[in-house]
Amino acid sequence: MARKLKGIAAAPGIAIAPVVHFHTTLDRIPTWRVEDDRIDAEKARLAGAIAAVSESLMGLQQELSGALGKHDVRIYDAQLAILHDKTFLRDVQNEVEQHRVNLEVALQRVISRYEGVFAAMENPAMRERAADLRDIGRQLVGALVYDDRVKYTSDGADYLFAADEFLPSDAGLLDREHIRGIVTAHGGKYSHGAILARSLGIPAIVGIEELMQTTTSGSLAILDGDAGVVLLEPSLDELADYERRLREQRSVDERITELRFEPSVTPDGTSIRLMANVEGVHDLENLELGAMAGIGLFRTEFAFMERRQFPTEEEQVAMYRRAVEGADGKPVTFRTLDVGGDKPLGYFQMPEERNPVLGWRGLRLCLDWPDILYTQLRAILRASDRGHARILLPMVTTRSEVVRCRDVLDQLTADLRSTGVPYDARIELGVMVEVPVLVEVLPDVLPVVDFVSVGTNDLVQYLLAVDRDNQRVAKMYDPFHPGVLRILSRIAKASAAAGKSASICGEIAGDHWFTPLLVGIGFRELSMAPVFVPRVKVMLRSFSLDECQHLAERALAMQSTAAVRKLVHEEIQPRWAQQLAGSGEAGGA
């Protein structure tokens, strides 16, 4: 039986290869006193290092542009911004002048202070900015001390990259022909290293604190990027099982290529709308819209987070029009601004909160600052004349919140009509079901909305009282919990009774093991990261509607998560394997 190390799943996939330790920090920082007549020389060294690292980052950005999406390549823009930040540069220069230390030591001290500030933040996304600072510091010191950084290789053999952390600049040093996985002691799912691993298609696990102490360089290991688990010294049976799963992955890729543009229907012809979750207009550039029914979740907050001030109405209209036009007549569901919690705005002062995820965020913030909501809704309305737009309200808890938004929307449409400004009269208003209490009052809310979208990421977290980013309790976060399935069933039934469509836009929508259960429960629209659409489409072709409903009935009657997972293992996984082998029934057109 293998030893098991549990971390945070950062990039999906399975890898089997020897672990190879890499030390990504500089081993030696030179130290000396800087005399008065040498201060200007140190400043000149800083300018030279900045120029060298800038050139390196831009070269890396260009090198990876073919492997990464345009959005992910912009990670290096964030690093370049830090590199040229005037406050950062002034602090480094002051450290040299005031304490007479050489530039390498000054950089180390300033980076350490900045890291301390970010590490103390409750916001996970902001905490991850500390890794970017470390990376910039390491690159600058490296440019001062060494001519070239050594590439991470394993002498031409396959390997698992194991290190304290994986930083953006490391992406250019990987032997991408032979690397099979990435596992680190530090980092989080929001880190730029994790994002790059996902974009490069490299399975990755982060946050295994004991990694470097409990693994030996050269020892065989299995990395399960789906479960967030590393198996050390696996048994022959475990190796055989994971080698089978690797073969299955390859079969998935082949089958997906065959079916990705086929209709998303069950073998008996039940149509399921598969939609895409996107983070902005840039995600639409590489989207295969022909493989999906539209955009089920457009996260507008990322456009706000990328700016230094609130975007104007005209700027928002331009962005939303690009999205609507890019969807070519298919619906685009714009979620209104959902900042706060783990998504702060640098230019908008948020209050200090003990638990910001349960605090002033989403619709709560927008209703308190109606100008934000008014401007955004008006911009979406003006953009809607180019296609089909839907508006989705996040963090809703009461009917009165929705009524207030409906009133604003009615006022805006009346104003646009009176001034002759075109908009889509079919525009729909919906609510995200992510706060558990909304399930109880959903029958009261449904008459004043056009559709419902279930944000299962937060809903499951709140239902189970589990922070899925907390490694001590993350294993308790399991959407297969029978109680979660029963809540989803209530939402689907209430929506159907009111004649309103209901979709799932959380992560389980893209989990193909969940697909038959969600269809059986009653959902006919699933919205997910685009990469998962083909996989779910393949699963849809494995079960008829009657079979999905029968599976859902059995799962809803079960009394434990383990029992539900056993059902998935015994009933769903074998059918999936048949479909991959090409023996499953193909769905109708």
- Catalytic site positions: 192, 505
Give 75-136 as a DSSP string: HHHHHHHHHT-HHHHHHHHHHHHHH-B-HHHHHHHHHHHHHHHHHT-S-HHHHTHHHHHHHH
Helix (H) or strand (E) holding 52: helix 39-64
- What residues contact residue 412 under an 8 Å CB cut-off, 6+ apart? 374, 377, 378, 381
The span from the CA of 560 to the CA of 200, in Å, is 37
Nearest CA to 442 out of 364, 506, 497, 505 is that of 497
Match 């399921």 to its residue by tokens.
Answer: 272
Question: Quick check: 133 and 111 in contact, CB under 8 A?
Answer: yes
Q: Residue 346 contacts by C-beta under 8 Å, 6 or more apart in sequence?
A: 305, 308
Helix axes 86-99, 103-119, angle to 10 degrees: 130
CA-atom Rg of the chain in angstroms: 26
What's the CA gap between 115 and 103, in Å, rounded? Answer: 18
Tokens of 107: 């950089």
Burial of 90 (0-12, 13-18, 19+ CB in 10 A): exposed
The sign of the dihedral angle between the CA atoms of 443, 448, 453, 457 is negative
The β-bridge partners of 20 are 161
Compute how many other C-beta atoms are within 10 angstroms of the C-beta atom of residue 500: 19
d(CA 371, CA 167): 39
Instruction: Name the DSSP class of 343.
Output: B
Please spell the DSSP secondary structure of 143-160, one letter per residue. HHH-SSPPPB--TTS-EE
**Residues with Cβ < 8 Å from 125, sequence gap 6 or more?**
190, 342, 343, 344
DSSP class of residue 265 equals B
